[in-house]
Structure 1
Amino acid sequence: MDPAEVIVDAIRRIPSGPGLFNHYESYESAREDADAPKLRRHNLGLYLRSFIERPSADLWIAEAPSRYGARWSGVPFTHQGKLKEMGEMLGMRDAFAVPTRNPESSASRTSAAIWKILPKPVPLLWNVVMLHPFKVKSGQIRNAETTREHHDICRDSLTLVLDTFKPRRIIAIGDVSAKALGRMGVSVTRVAHPGRNRHHEFWADMKKLGIGCGLVDDGNIG
């Protein structure tokens, strides 16, 4: 089994539970076909393989997937409509699959803020928790905060990623990811999380690290 497959399989085996949905193993029948989890695993494997033979890259890591992006596409911080562009940025020979017939219509504001300053070569984008944390509000599925228990059950798969790719620098996006990695004894550089209209702080923090220096912050996140 190649390293990417080992990581994908480790994530697939993490059980769903109250408030946590493993979209690499399960699917939402009202919006997806039964092969959607397999296609997401395929996409995540392709994504990881694109980094394996490259020099050590930066790792940008946040809390968890949102209901707008990786929950449907399988690729961190990548809305299904951005899969083709991500593949081109990674120089991939094989195309990503389209797992879902009816994903959310647009990317999250967090992903949009990250994409606006994505450098080349692309950093390895990841989450402390690779499953989707959710809550149901007024009959609708919404994003939810992760818990220490969520971090603990995803710890082994995160360790696999760190050991496999040995990132030269780890940028923790927000307090949750910084604290989770700190509990693992991993040294990180923390930046502001761009959610809840803090994208200006995020961009400013990244500019201090030499990332996104060409960005003109006109207030437009899209």
Structure 2
Amino acid sequence: MTSSIDAFVDRLAAVDTGPACNNFFDHSVPENALRRRNLGIYLGEMQERAPTVLLVGEAPGFRGMRITGVPFTNRTMFEGPANALGLFGPGKGYVLPADAAGVAAEPTATVMWQVLAELGVLPLLWSACPWHTHQPGRPLSNRTPNAAEAALGTPFWQALAGMFPIETVVAVGNVAHRSLQRSGVDAPKIRHPAHGGRSGFKQGLAGLLLPAR
């Protein structure tokens, strides 16, 4: 990892996220070291690709980034070959923590990467709240982040926009859109791919990115 990526991951791990919001990068759980490493590898791979588009989603799911440490990924992506865009796969250093065993693959992550491959685009992926928000007392659940949690995450997507040659920031869903608006960014909004949103997500992303080609 470069020093800027190292520093970014360290800052992310140091945040006190409060109740019902799991910072799965912090140093309290030994296996979180693997998640920090995975995120660093992903950001390093993306630095080589120099993406100009940043897609900001909502928050990690308990079957996705909460397990892997990488936005919009799931267990199976780390177990198979590199995807159609050349990311992940064996030999790059990605490691699944032991607590990933038996966790079903998050379908939203699968849809995201299928659509990106179909469109032939590779944006940088992130979340308005980059930690796992869950129902109180139910760590294996997902909860929409509140405004304060999204605000806590704002400096991190802003940092990524500065670390990469980002020209366009796109909100994926309402939570991200509101978060970006609160920070003064008038970003376009597209449909989130979850809960039957695949077609709308693909159409929205294609409409934003492909005409400029």
TM-score bracket for the superposition, by shorter chain length: 0.7 to 0.9
Distance 1:156 1:206, change over 3 A: closer
CA distance in structure 1 between the partners assigned to 2:13 and 2:4 by the alignment: 14
Distance 1:26 1:9, change over 3 A: closer
Q: 2:35 — aligned with what?
A: 40
Q: Deviations over 1:31-78 (max 9, x none)?
A: xxx531000000101111122243343211101000111101001010
Question: What TM-score, normalized to structure 1?
Answer: 0.80
Contact 1:69 1:77 in 2 (8 A): yes
Given the alignment, which residue of 81, 106, 117 partners 2:76?
Answer: 81
For residues 64-213 of structure 1, what are the structure 2 equivalents within 5 Å?
64-83=59-78, 84-85=81-82, 89-90=86-87, 94-103=92-101, 105-119=103-117, 120=120, 122-136=122-136, 141-210=140-209
Amino acid aligned to 1:22? N
CA distance in structure 1 between the partners assigned to 2:149 and 2:5 by the alignment: 22
Distance 1:172 1:163, change over 3 A: same
Gaps of 5+ in 1: 28-33, 212-222
Contact 2:190 2:201 in 1 (8 A): yes
Contact 1:19 1:133 in 2 (8 A): yes
Q: Deviations over 1:151-197 (max 9, x none)?
A: 12222222211111141222211011011112112232210112222
Gaps of 5+ in 2: none
| Cα displacement (A) at 1:144 | 0.3
Question: What TM-score, normalized to structure 2?
Answer: 0.84
Q: 1:214 — aligned with what?
A: none
| Cα displacement (A) at 1:88 | 7.2
Amino acid aligned to 1:181? L
Q: 1:58 — aligned with what?
A: 53
Q: 1:215 — aligned with what?
A: none
The alignment partner of 1:158 has SS state of helix
CA distance in structure 1 between the partners assigned to 2:53 and 2:26 by the alignment: 28
Contact 1:61 1:173 in 2 (8 A): yes
- Note the aligned Cα RMSD (angstroms): 2.6
Identity of aligned residues (%): 25
Contact 1:68 1:103 in 2 (8 A): no
Amino acid aligned to 1:46? I
CA distance in structure 1 between the partners assigned to 2:130 and 2:51 by the alignment: 21
Distance 1:135 1:167, change over 3 A: same
CA distance in structure 1 between the partners assigned to 2:46 and 2:175 by the alignment: 25
Contact 1:90 1:121 in 2 (8 A): no
Distance 1:88 1:11, change over 3 A: same
The alignment partner of 2:170 has SS state of strand
Amino acid aligned to 2:77? K
CA distance in structure 2 between the partners assigned to 1:193 and 1:155 by the alignment: 19
| Cα displacement (A) at 1:136 | 4.7
| Cα displacement (A) at 1:140 | 6.5
The alignment partner of 2:122 has SS state of coil
